[in-house]
Amino acid sequence: MKKLADILSLELETAFKAAGYEAKYGKAVLSNRPDLCEYQCNGAMAAAKAYKKAPFMIADDVAEKLKGSRVIREAESVKPGFINIKVDAAFAAEYLNKMSGEECLGYEKTEQPKTIIIDYGGANVAKPLHVGHLRTAIIGESVKRIVRFAGDKVIGDVHLGDWGYQMGLIITELQKRKPELPYFDEAFEGEYPEEPPFTIDELEEIYPTASAYAKEHEDYKEKALHTTYLLQNGHKGCTALWNHIMRVSVADLRKNYKSLNVEFDLWKGESDAQPYIPEMVEYLKNEGYAHYDDGALVIDVKEETDTKEIPPCMILKSDGASLYGTTDLATLIEREKLYRPDEIIYVVDKRQELHFVQVFRSARKAHIVRDETKLQFIGFGTMNGKDGKPFKTREGGVMRLESLISDIEERMYGKIMENRAISEEEARNTAKIVGLSAIKYGDLSNQASKDYVFDVDRFTSAEGNTGPYILYTIVRIKSILNKYKEAKGEPAKGIVKAAQSASEKALMLELAKFNEAIEIAYVEKAPHKICAYVYELANAFNRFYHETKILAEENEERQASFISMLLLTKEVFETCIDMLGFEAPERM
C-alpha cells in the first residue's frame, strides 16, 4: 500500500501542476505544528525562487486547486507560504480499512529480496553470558526481525567465540583437577567416554578460576597457551574435550537465549572458520595482498583519506598463530561459499569498530567478498549503571545476564502482586513477559550507538516511554475487545468510519503511519524508530481511550467502528513489538 504521505504528495503534485507550477514541489511532510495541521507542504517556498513570485501567492494558487480533493479535506495557505493540510476523515478511515485487509498491514515488502546474514550474539563458549552480551542479542534479534518482515531472506548467526585461549585454560584446569582422565593419556587408544567430565556449573566455575590463576602463574599460562595450540592443531584428547565443552555450554546458551526470545538460524562459531585459514593465508601471500612485517603476516589497509591511523590487519603472529581478524576473514570465505550473502551485518560493541574497519578493508582489498557485497557494522554503546559507569553487580563484579533478568522479573512480580489478586503462577508468567519487555524496550528505545543507563526503576515503570507502558496499553485494548466480544460477539475488521473527534482522528493518522515507520526502521536498521512509533501510537490510543466511551457508546455503528479500529490498533502494536522481540500478556 502506498504510504499516506505519498498519497498526499500525489495530490499536491497534481495541484501544483494544475496551478501552473512544476509538480516536483508538491511534497507532503508531517506537520511541525500538530496543533494547526496534520501534514504540511513547504514546496511553495522553493518554487518561489524558481518562479520569482511571492511564496504565499503560489501557496494560495495551489490551495485553491486542492478544493474538492477526496484525500485532502483542508488545505490552508499561511504566510510566508506554507500549505497546511488536514486529511479527509472518511479517506483516513478507508485507508485503515484497506490496511486491515492487507498482508503485512499494507507494508510493501522489498521486490528483490536480498540474502542478509546477521552476525550477533557472539557469546563465548564456557564463559557465562554477561550484560555485555545483552545488547548484541537484543539489537541483533530486532534488526533480524525487521529485515525479515521487510521481505529479505535473513540468516541469523550466533558466531560463538569457541576457539580461543579460554578453551586452553579450561582444558589445562581440568587436567590439573582430574589428571586421570583418558583425554590426557597420550597412549590411550580406546573410545573416549560419552558423558562429559563436568556439569555446566563446574564449567562456569572453572573458567574464572583458571583465568585468575593463569594471571598469577606464568608456567600455568604457558601450559594453557600450549594446550590452545594443541587443540588448534587437532590433538585428539583436546578435541574430544572441546566437543564436551561445546555440547554442555551450547545447551546452556540455547536455554539462555531462548529465555530472551532470541533465536539463531545458525549456531556456527569461530572454530568453523579454521579449516579455511591455511588456504586463505597461501592465497593472501601468493597474490601479494599480505606481506611480512617484523615476522608477522599483515595486510595494509590504510587509505589516503584516513584522518586517523588505521594499523594493518594482522593475519599471523610471528609464531604462526592466527588472530581474531584472521578468523573473521576466513568466516567471510565460508559465508561467501555457503550462502553467497548480499549483505552481512555485524552487531557488535562499538569498541570493536577498528577491528571491523580492518577486516572489511582487507576483505575488499583481497576480494574475499564480491565487490557488491555490503558489509555493515552496527556498533552499539555501553550499558551503564546509574553511576554512569559500565553496569556492575552491587558488589562491583561482572553482572551475569541470568541475574539481571531474574532481578527484573522479581521486580515486576512484586508490582503485579501489589496491584491485584491473581494466582502466583500467572503473576510469575506475566512478570517474565513484562520483565523482558522492560529490558528490551529500555535498550532498543535508544539509538544503538549511544551509551545508555540501565535504570531498573524507570524501565519497569508503567508510565513513560517504557516496555510495560506499551504492554499496559495493549492489554487495555485486549480487555475492551474481550468485553465487547462477550456482549456482542466477534468484532468485525475493516468497518472503520470517519472520525468524529480529534483524538479519534489523531489515532487514525497514527495508525496510518505504520508502513512509513517500518520503512525507516528497515532502511536505517534502527529498532529505536519502531519504539518511537509505538510510543506515539500508545499515546494517541490512550488519549482517545480517556476521551471516549467505547463500551458505553449507544450508537451501534459508531461503536462497531471504534472496535474495528481497536482491532487494527492491536494488530499494529503486536506486529511492532514482535519486531522488537517481545510480546504482550493477556492481562496485567
Q: Which is nearer to ligand ARG, 124 or 446 (CB)?
A: 124
Burial of residue 537 (number of CB atoms within 10 Å: 0-12, 13-18, 19+): buried
Residue with cell 583519506: 305
Close Cβ partners of 337 (under 8 Å, ≥ 6 residues apart): none
Close Cβ partners of 314 (under 8 Å, ≥ 6 residues apart): 296, 297, 298, 323, 325, 326
Q: Which is nearer to ligand ARG, 119 or 152 (CB)?
A: 119
> Is 138 in contact with 146 (CB distance < 8 Å)?
no
Smallest separation (angstroms) from ligand ARG to the CB of 284: 19
What is the rounded distance in angstroms from the CA atom of residue 270 to the CA atom of residue 279?
16
What is the rounded distance in angstroms from the CA atom of residue 476 to the CA atom of residue 371?
51
C-alpha cell read off for 130: 554477561
C-alpha cell read off for 586: 493477556
- Other beta carbons within 10 angstroms of residue 71's beta carbon come to 20
Smallest separation (angstroms) from ligand ARG to the CB of 327: 8
Residue 11 makes contact with ligand ARG by CB under 6 A? no
Q: Which is nearer to ligand ARG, 77 or 124 (CB)?
A: 124
Q: Which is nearer to ligand ARG, 346 or 533 (CB)?
A: 346
Smallest separation (angstroms) from ligand ARG to the CB of 355: 7
Would you give the DSSP letter of residue 308?
Answer: S
Q: What are the backbone angles phi and psi of residue 161, rounded to the nearest 5°?
A: -85, 95
C-alpha cell read off for 91: 479517506
Smallest separation (angstroms) from ligand ARG to the CB of 140: 10
Q: Which is nearer to ligand ARG, 122 or 467 (CB)?
A: 122
What is the rounded distance in angstroms from the CA atom of residue 216 to the CA atom of residue 206?
16
x/- site string to ligand ARG, residues 145 to 174, per CB under 6 A?
Answer: --------------x-x-------------
Q: Which is nearer to ligand ARG, 11 or 119 (CB)?
A: 119
Q: Which is nearer to ligand ARG, 124 or 466 (CB)?
A: 124
C-alpha cell read off for 494: 475493516
Smallest separation (angstroms) from ligand ARG to the CB of 347: 8
Strands 72-78 and 452-453: unpaired
Q: Which is nearer to ligand ARG, 331 or 465 (CB)?
A: 331
Secondary structure (DSSP) of 227-280: HHHHHHTT-HHHHHHHHHHHHHHHHHHHHHHHHTT---SB--BHHHHGGGHHHH
Interaxial angle between packed helices 556-580 and 527-547, expressed in degrees from 0 to 180 and rounded to the nearest 10: 160
Kindly identify the residues of this chain, within the stretch 88-147, that bind ligand ARG according to CB under 6 A: 119, 122, 124
Close Cβ partners of 474 (under 8 Å, ≥ 6 residues apart): 570, 573, 574, 577, 584
Side chain identity at 330, as an amino acid letter?
A
The closest residue (CB) to ligand ARG is 122
x/- site string to ligand ARG, residues 342 to 361, per CB under 6 A?
Answer: ----x-x-------------
Q: Which is nearer to ligand ARG, 122 or 585 (CB)?
A: 122
Smallest separation (angstroms) from ligand ARG to the CB of 346: 6
Smallest separation (angstroms) from ligand ARG to the CB of 152: 20
Q: Assign 318 to helix, strand or coil.
A: coil
Smallest separation (angstroms) from ligand ARG to the CB of 339: 15
What is the rounded distance in angstroms from the CA atom of residue 380 to the CA atom of residue 46?
38
Kindly identify the residues of this chain, within the stretch 506-565, that bind ligand ARG according to CB under 6 A: none
Q: Which is nearer to ligand ARG, 81 or 161 (CB)?
A: 161
Residue 328 makes contact with ligand ARG by CB under 6 A? yes
CA 574 to chain CA centroid, nearest Å = 16
Secondary structure (DSSP) of 435-458: HHHHHHHHHHTS-TTS-EE--HHH
Q: Which is nearer to ligand ARG, 193 or 311 (CB)?
A: 311
Q: What is the size of the binding site for ligand ARG (CB under 6 A)?
A: 8
Residue 268 makes contact with ligand ARG by CB under 6 A? no
Residue with cell 522481540: 581
Q: Which is nearer to ligand ARG, 93 or 363 (CB)?
A: 363
Q: Which is nearer to ligand ARG, 161 or 585 (CB)?
A: 161
What is the rounded distance in angstroms from the CA atom of residue 253 to the CA atom of residue 324?
22
Smallest separation (angstroms) from ligand ARG to the CB of 121: 8
Q: Which is nearer to ligand ARG, 380 or 582 (CB)?
A: 380
x/- site string to ligand ARG, residues 283 to 322, per CB under 6 A?
Answer: ----------------------------------------
> Is 346 in contact with 136 (CB distance < 8 Å)?
no
C-alpha cell read off for 248: 554442555
Smallest separation (angstroms) from ligand ARG to the CB of 280: 15
Angle CA(161)–CA(166)–CA(171) in degrees, nearest 5?
125
C-alpha cell read off for 174: 581440568
Q: Which is nearer to ligand ARG, 25 or 377 (CB)?
A: 377
CA 407 to chain CA centroid, nearest Å = 23
Q: Assign 85 to helix, strand or coil.
A: strand
Smallest separation (angstroms) from ligand ARG to the CB of 281: 19
Residue with cell 569498530: 353
Which residues lie near ligand ARG (CB under 6 A)?
119, 122, 124, 159, 161, 328, 346, 348
